[in-house]
Amino acid sequence: MPDHLEPETMMREISDLEGRIGELRQAAGMPAPDLRATLDAALVELELALSALRTIGTGRPGAAGHSASAETERRVLRTVFQDAPVPLFLLDRDTSVRRVNRQAATLLGTSPGYVSGKQFTAFCDLATRAALRSQLAAVVRTGRRRRVAVRFMGRDRPIDATVTLARVWIRGEPDPMVVAVAGAAGSPVTREAGEAAADGTRREPTARQHAAREHAVQEAPAAPPPDGQAPDVREPARPPSGRLSAVPRPAASHADDDQAVATIVHRMDVLANASELLLDEPVFNETVAVRRCARLLAAELADWAIIDLVGANGSTPQAAQAAAQAAQNARSWQASGQDDPAAADPAGALSRQVVMGPEDDRSVEATQALEELAPDPGTLPYTVFTTRQSALRPHVEELDLLGVGADGQPVCGTIGATSVLCVPVEDGDRCLGTITLAGSGEHGPFDLLDLAVAQRLGRYLALVIRAARLYRRRAEVADTLQASLLPKRLPEIPGVDLGARYMTATHGAEVGGDFYDAFRTRDGWGLVLGDVCGKGEDAAAVTATARHGARLVSRWRSGPGEVLSAVNEALMEEDRFVTAIMAELEPAGERVRISLGTAGHPPAVVVRADGVIRTASRGGVPLGLFDDFEAGLDFLDLGPGDTLFLHSDGVLEACDLARQEFGQERLLETLAGTAGRPVQDMLDAVQAALLDFCDGDLRDDVSMLALRVLPQSLA
């Protein structure tokens, strides 16, 4: 192409210049930037701008002078390109790779066909990309050869090289092309040491590096160094992935094959660890599972792990805010009589759940920014979620692949990601979200083996999330139903202080069978506490019958014995039995006379004001078993400060790790120790003793009801 710039060409040059200047600014703000290379590139851009200004209005030189030179260069390329002993890249004007020779493919650890068509800068680290683009533009514009220090993202580890850029003209091509010749540079260790010395920091090996080193040492024999060279003492890179690689690579040596086996073993370990971490919960917990999965992936497979989910439980502020906003929008559209456009958007509720990355200060800031960044349309997570198709980008060409931050900078540039993969989180029926992994290329790009592991983990996580959400919905239904079986609040009974406590079993999401109630009777007040055999919806129906039956019958029958007999008749049609205890209160001056009726239930406990403990008599059979029911009856006389304590068998049968029961003696000791304290303190003490004894693991529901006679001055 002639050096004269037409108006259309000038506009294109200006647009390209603006883009390259923006990349230089971003490169200067990256961690450990190569400021010298960036400065040189900026000076090159100034020279290009000056050269472009000088061409405005000048005459167009003839093309004859180019034809002989172009033909000569074309013959040379045809002869030596493929068999040249050095890596060669033939680049278009826009820096995309037209062709590479075998040496260049070997340098990158891939095949010539994979490299062709991709941006040349996609195979370089982010710190050198902006400067390289400027130098390429200068070569195309001026024709002067340039040498640039480049760090290629090789298949197994970064490779430092010096690239010589030269412009060539090829007949039939409207634009000039660039030949890039890669030569050896200093050792990556030397470069890393120099960078560490420059910024005063040293990058510690990640868990992923330690895993690679461990497997490489255990599985792969050490290869002898070439003659005359010192052994390579660099940090062992991630083992290659063998024939499963998404990036085709040349034939491997025996050492490479051994390392490939080590890589497969490592991935199997990751899957095994994931299974253990996700399932090691007595009760499925979505938030715990998601964070465990992200932490494992960030430690073993990637530098960054991002998990986005739809229909989350609102455990994060972002999820709660998104759900609230979606609900508000839906109500607004409904009020206007129009269809909500978000209803047709399958990813409208996709929200960021967790971001895991390195723990240095800069990465912590990036993590916080990413947590606030939604997976908007156009980003890779959004696309993978809507299409339910996994995506693998071994070499990132578009830095806004994961979106753009609030500061206007592409996310990939902010976190230094040169390789990205994203998989859907599917449970077989629907897509629940996505898992995104990003790497800096220090261990090579992601491959098909990494993708397969991430897909399997996505499946594992989806199943755990589905189970957790089903469990949570059942627990919510159970809680709602359980609340309907207990009084919302206890009545205020003159002359006594009344308190109750209910604790659900630690395991399971079914409705418990315990119940208690306090209500007016025909002659005063009544208390009832019972336990239905079994759990679940069927048990809940029996619980409701027993509780409300006792409350209703007490309005027209006197005495616990008669009330319990009537309830027994109502329960004879049920297939479950009920143990219960009922008390009727009869005020007698400063004292209260208690009539007790027991139906196969643990006896009531009386705690005297001076700490003396007495238990009522046992008796009766459970309700709902026999037609000829007869309750066990007893009568108690309570004075000021005395307490009547009713409880279910869940108190006595709570077990410790040795399967030893809490028992009645421990209960009586706890009650005696709180004889002079308020009723709520007494209930708190029993609850604390129970939870401490069983280490918080209640195997059955627990219900307690306590009544204390108040002195006349407090009544």
Q: Residues 577, 624: contact at Cβ < 8 Å? A: yes
C-alpha span between 664 and 652 (Å, rounded): 6
- Long-range contacts of residues 164-168, Cβ cutoff 8 Å, at least 24 apart: 165/135, 165/136, 165/139, 166/139, 167/139, 167/140, 167/143, 168/70, 168/73, 168/74, 168/77
- State yes or no: pLDDT of 6 exceeds 70: no
Report pLDDT for 266.
Answer: 56
* Domains by residue range for the chain, with CATH: 7-197 (3.30.450.20), 261-477 (3.30.450.40), 485-709 (3.60.40.10)
pLDDT of residue 344: 43
Mean pLDDT of 508-518: 76
- Rounded to whole angstroms, the Cα distance separating 323 from 316 reads 11
Confidence of residue 243 (pLDDT cuts 50, 70, 90): very low
- Output the furthest CA–CA distance in the chain (Å, rounded): 126
Average pLDDT, the chain: 76
Q: What is the pLDDT of residue 622?
A: 94
Instruction: Note the pLDDT tens digit of each residue in 608-640.
Output: 998 899 998 878 899 999 998 999 999 999 999
Residue predicted with more confidence, 478 or 201: 478
Cα-flanking dihedrals φ and ψ of residue 713, to 5°? -70, -25
Ordered DSSP codes for 587-651 = EETTEEEEEEEEES-PPPEEE-TTS-EEEPPP----BTS-SS---EEEEEEE-TT-EEEEE-HHH
Location of structure tokens 């172009």: 70
pLDDT, residue 316, reads: 41
Residue ranges with strand state E in 1-157: 88-91, 97-100, 146-153
User: Angle 354-358-361 (CA atoms, 0-180°, nearest 5)?
Assistant: 105
pLDDT tens-digit series, residues 677-699? 999 999 999 999 999 999 888 88
The pLDDT score that the predictor gives to residue 490 is: 92
pTM for the predicted model, two decimal places:
0.54
Closest CA to 139 of 170, 110, 166: 166
Q: What is the pLDDT of residue 658?
A: 86
Supply φ then ψ for residue 6, to 5 degrees. -75, 165
pLDDT at 387: 92
Q: What confidence tens digit (pLDDT) does each residue in 414-466 have?
A: 998 999 999 999 887 889 999 999 998 887 888 888 888 888 888 888 888 88
Quote the CA–CA distance of 152 and 146 in Å, as a whole number.
17
The mean pLDDT of 180-204, rounded to a whole number, is: 47
What was the pLDDT predicted at 505?
Answer: 79
Give the residue with greater pLDDT, 668 vs 543.
668
Task: Please check whether residue 126 is in contact with residue 418, taking contact to mean a CB–CB distance below 8 angstroms.
Answer: yes
d(Cα 546, Cα 534) in Å, to the nearest integer?
14
Which residues neighbour 645 within 8 Å (Cβ) at sequence distance 6 or greater? 604, 605, 606, 607, 671, 682, 704, 705, 706
> Residue 314 has what pLDDT?
39
CA distances from 682 to 263, 301, 620 (A): 60, 53, 28
**Side-chain half-sphere exposure of 441, counting CA atoms within 13 A:** 25
What pLDDT shows up at residue 686? 96
pLDDT at 19 over 90: no
Q: Please state the separation of Cα 496 from the chain's center in Å.
A: 52
* CA separation for the pair 115, 247 (Å, rounded): 9
* pLDDT, greater one: 213 or 645: 645
Instruction: With CA atoms as reference, report the closest residue to 544 among 562, 530, 556, 560.
Output: 530
Residue % of the chain over a pLDDT of 70: 66
Q: What is the CA radius of gyration of the chain?
A: 38
Backbone angles phi, psi at 317, to 5 degrees: -60, -35
Looking at residue 226, what is its pLDDT? 39
Residue 706's pLDDT is 96
With a pLDDT cut of 90, the percent of the chain lying above it is 29
Per DSSP, 342 falls in state G
Specify the range with the lowest mean pLDDT, choosing from 98-107, 278-287, 503-512, 560-569.
278-287
Q: What is the pLDDT of residues 296-314, one digit of tens each?
A: 888 888 899 999 998 754 3
User: Looking at residues 330-340, what average pLDDT do you find?
Assistant: 48
The pLDDT of residue 60 is 43
At 641-676, the pLDDT tens digits run 999 999 999 999 999 888 899 999 999 999 999 988
The tens digit of pLDDT for each residue in 148-179 reads 889 898 887 888 888 889 888 776 778 888 88
